[in-house]
Each structure stands twice: as structure tokens, then as C-alpha cells.
Amino acid sequence: MPSRDFLKQLAGYGLATANILYRLPDHPALLQTYVWQDYDVAPDFPVLKDFLAFWRRSLDGALYRVEVAHQGLIRPAELRIARSEFVIN
């Protein structure tokens, strides 16, 4: 049975990474970093939007900035043809 993540990749999901910068509740002048990573669909990012909605609803740290990077769909691996083969006995 293939993994859940592999099945998501076949469905068009790619690995998304969000660098979330938020203000500390007790010291709003200070910023803290949180890195979130999951499989999501670009450019809408429904999984990330759900997570950020949870953040706003349940956590005290106000969001300051969210930077997103996304890996594309499954693509062929880079292959190179071998020009020779050596056999050692």
C-alpha cells in the first residue's frame, strides 16, 4: 500500500513550506518564527489557509508575515546515460 503522502503527490499536491513570523503575546515588539510543512496545492493552498485560520482562532500570537515555498508536482527524475560499464571480478 503506497503512503498517504505519495497518493497526495499523485493527486497534484506538492510539499509546501511556510515560514510564519508572529508577534509574541507578552512582548508584541518581539517576533518569533514557526516553520510549517505539509502537502498542499498551489496557488490556492487550502491546507495552509485552514492552518492559518486555526492559528487566528486558537493561538494568541498575532501573525506578522507568512512566506510560502512550494515544490511542484511529481516530475521525472534527472537521468544520465552511462557511456561505459566496468566489471570487476
Structure letter (DSSP) for residue 48: H
- The share of the chain scoring above pLDDT 90, in percent, equals 57
Beta strands per DSSP E along the chain: 14-23, 31-40, 63-70
Tens digit of pLDDT for each residue in 51-84? 999 999 999 999 999 999 987 645 555 666 777 7
Beta bridge partners of 68: 18
- Maximum separation of any 2 CA atoms in the chain, in Å: 69
- Residue ranges covered by each domain of the chain: 4-70
User: pTM for the full model?
Assistant: 0.75
- The share of the chain scoring above pLDDT 70, in percent, equals 89
Going by C-alpha positions, the residue among 68, 74, 73 that lies closest to residue 16 is: 68
Identify whether the C-beta of residue 18 lies closer than 8 Å to the C-beta of residue 66.
Answer: yes
